[in-house]
Copies of this chain bind each other. A is one copy, B any other.
Amino acid sequence: MEGKKSQEGLTVKKNENFSEWFTQVTEKAEILDSRLGIKGFVIMRPWGALTMENMFMHLEKELQKNGHKPTFMPTVIPKENLTKESEHIEGFTPQVFWLKDINEGQELALRPTSETVYTPMFKLWIRSWRDLPLKLYQRANVFRLDTKATRPLIRAREFIWIECHDAFKSKEDAEKQVQEDIAVTEKIMHQTFGIPFLPMKRPEWDKFAGAEYTVGSDCFMPDGKLIQQPSTHLMGQKFSKAFGADFENEDGKKEFLWTTAYGPAVSRILVSVISTHGDDSGLVLPYSITPTQVVIVPIFTVKNKEKVLEKAKEIYSKLKKMGIRTELDEDTEKRPGEKYHMWELKGVPFRIEFGEKELEKKELTLFTRDTKEKLKIKDGDLKNIPKLGLEFDRRLVEKADKVFKGKISLGKTEKEIKKILDEGKVAKVNFCSTDNDGLNCAHLVEKKFGAEVRGTLANSNEKGSGNCPFCNKPAKKVVYIGRSY
């Protein structure tokens, strides 16, 4: 167990100072370390890295099931590629790290995202509609020289994500992919990791540089601010036209590819996992992604150590055989209380405790992290752990959903909207327009409330009614207004 120093408890409460709570919990639970001192770059320690590995596993399994195949693309992108699509380069250039060394006459940037390498390859790989759809992804690090202040994991200059780049023969197929991407976010981020979200079709003025439209997943942080999680983009034919990536359609005619991109940033989703489920004792990690699902803490003295440890090892083997990620805490330096404390800080769902007395009664104590309940169980009950794990995750989802639902309120007037925002909620508002003619009202929202028009629901068809509270024109849309990270 590395880093003893950091295993002190949290000194703040989550609902009193969320920002400090987040800093403490990520450091003390050994999720990350930012002491290397490179602005915007962070070290993920084993506890954080293992959690991320499990998150990747769930995401990649689902993506592969839906026909995505992995690739590895270069970390660098030549300037001539990056500048090919005009809106894209305008949006990304200020954010790009350039390499000092010229590589055989080429100026190279660290990839901020990889549309400009996938699209020219689509041109080479796809000849006709028979080669479509082509659905590729990579697990990759990307780099954004963001000018704003950085915060570990939340606003980083390097982050670790999955980027999917797909090509289709029609706009219809591409739009279906956008919906499939939202469904993947729903299945994995929401149902598996327990993070509810609003799939927001962004207003015209807030879409990805080079996209026809963007759907961002907005999640709540405990302070009521929104954080954008996976976004999916209908690129339409913008990139394919820029790179001349065409194909022969079913009528034998040349047509440009229809492309989409989807980018679940695992290092950023981890922020929501930590923030949504954690409590004043530390992390609460979903059973599905925690590095350790069950920790066994035997209580022994010098005298009965052998006997107690023998039983602990028996339980350990039993759980391991069931495929449960189990750890046995044999440390002889720490008292049981210290151990309990540490494993609670680290968010392990279940802890099995027992000493000699319980051994004689053939009893074990099962501690459950989220409810903090202690239950007496028998050896035979260990077979229920996987079922209890599913229930554990179900509780986390339900609790998060309940909070989430309470955070969205209808705001009809400026006064109501302000009140909703000041309560740390999101206002659902009938709004004039999310095309560029709505930009004036969006500026008002920003000026008056320090908030943003996040968009319209992307997977339902909410229709505006009445008038826009800002310009009084007929409200064509229902938008969600919130403050964000």
Chain B residues closer than 8 Å to A41, beta-carbon distance? 74-76
- Expressed in whole angstroms, the Cα–Cα distance for A110 and B54 within the complex equals 27
State whether the Cβ of A104 lies closer than 8 Å to any Cβ in chain B: yes
**Which of A93-101, A341-349, A354-362 forms part of the interface with chain B?**
A93-101
**Which of A32-40, A377-385, A443-451 forms part of the interface with chain B?**
A32-40
Between A1, A2, A42, A138, the greatest number of chain B beta carbons within 10 A of the residue's beta carbon is seen for A2
A76 to chain B: closest CB distance in Å? Answer: 6
Q: Could you tell me if B39 and A124 are in contact, using CB atoms closer than 8 angstroms?
A: no
Copies in the complex: 2
- Expressed in whole angstroms, the Cα–Cα distance for A126 and B106 within the complex equals 43
Chain B residues closer than 8 Å to A74, beta-carbon distance? 36, 38, 41-43, 158
Q: Could you tell me if B108 and A38 are in contact, using CB atoms closer than 8 angstroms?
A: yes
Contact of A125 among B2, B98, B124, B126 (CB under 8 A): B2
State whether the Cβ of A333 lies closer than 8 Å to any Cβ in chain B: yes
State whether the Cβ of A136 lies closer than 8 Å to any Cβ in chain B: yes
Q: Could you tell me if B125 and A3 are in contact, using CB atoms closer than 8 angstroms?
A: yes
Q: Could you tell me if A70 and B99 are in contact, using CB atoms closer than 8 angstroms?
A: no
Chain B residues closer than 8 Å to A466, beta-carbon distance? none
With A1-B131, A333-B130 in contact, do A52 and B33 touch (Cβ < 8 Å)? no
State whether the Cβ of A45 lies closer than 8 Å to any Cβ in chain B: yes
Instruction: Give the nearest-CB partner of A141 in chain B.
Output: B75
Chain B residues closer than 8 Å to A141, beta-carbon distance? 75, 141
Q: Could you tell me if A70 and B49 are in contact, using CB atoms closer than 8 angstroms?
A: yes
Q: Could you tell me if B121 and A43 are in contact, using CB atoms closer than 8 angstroms?
A: yes
A99 to chain B: closest CB distance in Å? Answer: 5
State whether the Cβ of A72 lies closer than 8 Å to any Cβ in chain B: yes
Q: Could you tell me if A2 and B126 are in contact, using CB atoms closer than 8 angstroms?
A: yes
With A36-B74, A46-B136, A131-B4 in contact, do A100 and B100 touch (Cβ < 8 Å)? yes
A33-75 with Cβ < 8 A to chain B: 33, 35-46, 48-50, 52-53, 69-75
A1-16 with Cβ < 8 A to chain B: 1-5
Instruction: Give the nearest-CB partner of A160 in chain B.
Output: B72
- Expressed in whole angstroms, the Cα–Cα distance for A76 and B76 within the complex equals 13
Return the CB mask of A348-378 against B: 1 if under 8 Å, else 0.
0000000000000000000000000000000
Instruction: Give the nearest-CB partner of A69 in chain B.
Output: B46
State whether the Cβ of A324 lies closer than 8 Å to any Cβ in chain B: no
Q: Could you tell me if B38 and A124 are in contact, using CB atoms closer than 8 angstroms?
A: no
Instruction: Give the nearest-CB partner of A39 in chain B.
Output: B104
Instruction: Give the nearest-CB partner of A331 in chain B.
Output: B130
Q: Which size class do A's interface residues fall under?
A: 35 or more
Instruction: Give the nearest-CB partner of A52 in chain B.
Output: B72
A87-120 with Cβ < 8 A to chain B: 97-101, 103-104, 106, 108, 110, 117, 120
Chain B residues closer than 8 Å to A97, beta-carbon distance? 99-101
Chain B residues closer than 8 Å to A75, beta-carbon distance? 41, 75, 110, 141, 143, 158
Instruction: Give the nearest-CB partner of A72 in chain B.
Output: B44
Contact of A98 among B69, B101, B126, B131 (CB under 8 A): B101
Q: Could you tell me if A103 and B71 are in contact, using CB atoms closer than 8 angstroms?
A: no
Return the CB mask of A124-143 against B: 1 if under 8 Å, else 0.
11110011001010100101
A349 to chain B: closest CB distance in Å? Answer: 20
Between A3, A40, A98, A145, the greatest number of chain B beta carbons within 10 A of the residue's beta carbon is seen for A3
Q: Could you tell me if A38 and B2 are in contact, using CB atoms closer than 8 angstroms?
A: no
With A2-B131, A75-B143, A131-B2 in contact, do A124 and B43 touch (Cβ < 8 Å)? no
A320 to chain B: closest CB distance in Å? Answer: 12
Q: Could you tell me if B117 and A36 are in contact, using CB atoms closer than 8 angstroms?
A: yes
Instruction: Give the nearest-CB partner of A71 in chain B.
Output: B49
Please name the 10 residue pairs, one residue from A and one from B, whose CB atoms are nearest each other, closest first. A46-B69, A41-B74, A44-B72, A98-B100, A49-B70, A100-B100, A39-B104, A2-B125, A3-B125, A49-B71
Q: A residues near B, CB below 8 A?
A: 1-5, 33, 35-46, 48-50, 52-53, 69-76, 78, 97-101, 103-104, 106, 108, 110, 117, 120-121, 124-127, 130-131, 134, 136, 138, 141, 143, 145, 157-158, 160, 267, 333
> Apart from A41-B75, A43-B121, what are 19 other A-B pairs with CB-CB below 8 Å?
A1-B131, A3-B125, A4-B127, A5-B124, A33-B121, A36-B74, A38-B74, A38-B76, A39-B103, A42-B74, A43-B117, A44-B73, A46-B70, A50-B69, A53-B70, A72-B267, A74-B158, A97-B100, A98-B101
